[in-house]
């Protein structure tokens, strides 16, 4: 199986499709949740995901340090990471090294931080079965705000790096999975 990347738009059915792939694997599933609950609407989204998941899945919540949590995933299990989008958001939301300084330096520091962390946790996945959920940011326009553009660039780069290593890439459109690679 290897790495399977599931991408698509917001509310396209990515998570449901990813969960179905994990259920079909027949392996014990370790679900890595990256979302942080910051308001009632996000709490409701997380609750919907929790209620849909089989009770036998091991759940690990980690908003930042994916390498550490992935190092603890038992061999022979199916990893489900949901989602890279939330993870990139969390990393970018941490205070930058040059907070309040030059926005160009801030952007470079943030993108370097995302790149460093991504390479670190991707090394952990060598030889493991993983289903990874992310949002596709390459179909819309360029954002107007510098922080939003940094997010688009960071997530787009992460998606490309994961897709390079993935054995399969799927895009979900209106609940319909479409195999792009593999």
Residues serving a catalytic function are 49
What's the Cα-to-Cα distance from 148 to each of 84, 89, 93, 108, rounded to whole Å?
A: 16, 10, 11, 14
Q: What H or E segment, with its residue span, contains residue 146? A: helix 146-165
Length of the chain, please? 182
Q: Which residues of 26-56 are buried (b: 16+ CB within 10 A; e: fewer)?
A: eeebbbbbbbeeeeeeeeeeeeebeeebeee
Cis peptide before 40 (omega within 30 of 0): no
């Amino acid at each position: 199986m290897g790495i399977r990347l599931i991408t698509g738009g917001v509310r396209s059915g990515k998570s449901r499709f990813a969960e179905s792939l994990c259920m079909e694997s027949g392996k014990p599933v370790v679900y890595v949740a990256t979302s942080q609950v910051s308001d009632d609407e996000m709490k409701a989204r997380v609750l919907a995901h929790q209620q849909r998941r089989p009770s036998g899945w091991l759940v690990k919540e980690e908003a930042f340090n994916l390498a550490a949590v992935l190092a603890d995933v038992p061999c022979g299990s199916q990893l489900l990471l949901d989602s890279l989008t939330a993870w990139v958001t969390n990393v970018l939301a941490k205070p930058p090294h040059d907070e309040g300084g030059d926005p160009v330096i801030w952007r470079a520091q943030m993108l370097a931080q995302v790149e460093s962390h991504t390479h670190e946790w991707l090394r952990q996945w060598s030889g493991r079965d993983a289903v990874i959920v992310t949002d596709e940011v390459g179909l819309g326009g360029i954002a107007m705000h510098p922080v939003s553009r940094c997010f688009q660039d960071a997530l787009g780069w992460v998606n490309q790096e994961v897709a390079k290593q993935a054995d399969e890439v799927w895009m979900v459109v209106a609940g319909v999975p479409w195999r792009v690679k593999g």
